[in-house]
Amino acid sequence: MQSPVTDVNGPEPSGDPPAPRANGRRDRWADHREQRRQELIGAAVQALLRHGPEVDMDQVAATAGVSKPVLYRYFADKSQLWLAVSEVVAARVVDTVAPAVEQVREERALVEATIDAYLGVIESEPKLYRFLMHQSSHPGIHQVVAGTSRQVAAGLARVIGDRLRALGLDAGPAEPWAYGLVGFVQAVGDWWTTNGQPIRRAALTDYLTTLLWSGIEGVRRSADLPRELTRAHERIVP
């Protein structure tokens, strides 16, 4: 006699019955597979740090301590693995820059904090950053880079907009300024790491902050602000 089969699509009985054993096994297998996948991505990151952006799948497999066919069980091809790695690197950028942007309460310090946090990510992991930027011809990785830039710029635009409104100014420039700042620092950061970081991070942060802030401050000065408000904000101008 066959055991009764629970109809998962029918009405559920009262209480919380245990999930069917098959579903539990499937969930455990999915969790195990995802954990293993993350371990292999971590190995790929380590291989990149060890061998540089030209690392190949054999080197990744050796770092992970597996055969190359095992890699292909989790990633259809090299492009899929690099896309997964790019997502990890991009998340590190966002996780570092976003909190720095949110904590600042003065205009010039906001520009400085954004630049310093972004350069800090590059300084700590230059090989990963070069990999991310130089693989951007890959459609998927290009989307990851663009999405990361949008995420950082959106948070920055929100904060800049709040500062402009607090000054009684039009918040319209906030978004283009934010995207311009992110793109500018991204390009300079690429130059900086490609050339072996020829300038100290603190000095480069100061150079870029002065250049960008002078432009923003020029717009602020051209606005018709109350005299006492202008004087209050002149204290933060270099």
Determine the straight-line distance between the first and last CA of the chain, rounded to whole angstroms: 86
pLDDT tens, 130-180?
887 777 667 788 888 888 889 889 988 988 888 888 878 888 888 998 999
Predicted confidence at residue 234, as pLDDT, reads 45
DSSP letter for each residue of 32-45: HHHHHHHHHHHHHH
For the segment(s) 22-75, the CATH number from 1.10.10, 3.10.450, 3.30.70, 3.30.2420 is 1.10.10
Q: What are 8-25's pLDDT values in tens digits?
A: 444 444 455 555 555 777
The Cα 235–Cα 238 span in angstroms is 8
Percent of the chain with pLDDT over 90: 25
At residue 129, the pLDDT reads: 82
Residue ranges of domains in the chain: 22-75, 84-234
- The reported pTM is 0.69
Q: Check: CATH 2.40.50.140 for 84-234?
A: no
